[in-house]
């Protein structure tokens, strides 16, 4: 907001929330910076308003070169889908599945992946320390990118969404009630962010 007031620069944000300021960015909206083209693609799942940006170097062609995935896809991990609580997690998990498998990975195996966070972030359980990767590497190595869902071509939603969701939500044994382990062993109400924050505080001696 300060930059907007000082420079008049436009503010853009993703859809799905009533921001009360700025402009909602459209899916497919383009921005040019010299010979570079940034294309916004809606990639909800971690949150409803999540946006990724696909970079093309027009001096060498139209094909994507890099994608900034925010919190949808990290190096060695996918984004958490529990931020709105257990009741909303199945919907967010299905959206994230669509975002990763139908919007991000189809960009091409050679496209460079630049996520918003690296190792140590609480936005994913097993984020690697590397700052970048490629979509091809993540497709072959990241558990969340190798799920077998038994999907049919007429159904774009994973039929067993909890499998996807708990990849991100399984922190220190935390499970959701519709997970078989949760039904048999009970669930915990501890929030993953708080659990890890408390662990870090204890380990640092604060």
Distance (Å, rounded) from C-alpha 120 to C-alpha 18? 30
Q: What is the pLDDT of residues 103-115, one digit of tens each?
A: 999 999 999 999 9
Give the pairing of strands 51-57 and 23-24: unpaired
Q: What is the pLDDT of residues 131-174, one digit of tens each?
A: 889 999 999 888 778 764 444 334 444 444 444 444 444 433 33
CA proximity to 96, closest of 30, 38, 23, 169: 169
For residue range 35-87, what is the model confidence (pLDDT) as tens digits? Answer: 999 999 999 988 889 999 999 999 999 999 999 999 999 988 888 887 888 78
How far apart are the C-alpha atoms of 113 and 134, rounded to whole Å?
Answer: 5
| pTM as predicted | 0.72
Are 148 and 97 within 8 A, CB to CB? no
* Rounded Cα gap, residues 77 and 196, in angstroms: 17
Q: How far is it, in rounded angstroms, from Cα 128 to Cα 75?
A: 6
2-172 CATH fold: Metallo-beta-lactamase; Chain A (3.60.15)
């Amino acid at each position: 907001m300060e930059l907007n007031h000082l420079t008049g620069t436009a503010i853009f944000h993703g859809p799905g929330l009533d921001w009360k300021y700025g402009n909602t960015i459209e899916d497919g909206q383009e921005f040019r910076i010299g010979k570079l083209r940034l294309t916004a693609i809606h990639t909800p799942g971690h949150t409803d308003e999540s946006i990724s940006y696909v970079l093309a170097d027009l001096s060498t062609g139209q094909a994507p070169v890099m994608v900034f995935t925010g919190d949808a896809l990290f190096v060695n991990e996918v984004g958490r889908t529990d931020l709105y609580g257990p009741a909303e997690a199945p919907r967010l998990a299905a959206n994230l599945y669509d975002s990763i498998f139908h919007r991000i990975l189809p960009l091409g195996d050679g496209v460079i992946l630049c996520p918003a966070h690296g190792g140590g972030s609480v936005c994913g359980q097993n984020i690697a320390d590397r700052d970048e990767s490629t979509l091809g590497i993540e497709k072959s190595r990241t558990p969340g990118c190798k799920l077998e869902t038994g999907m049919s071509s007429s159904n774009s939603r994973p039929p067993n969404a909890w499998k996807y969701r708990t990849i991100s939500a399984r922190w220190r044994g935390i499970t959701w009630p519709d997970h078989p382990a949760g039904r048999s062993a009970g669930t915990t109400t501890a929030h993953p962010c708080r659990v890890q924050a408390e662990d870090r505080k204890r380990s640092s001696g604060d």
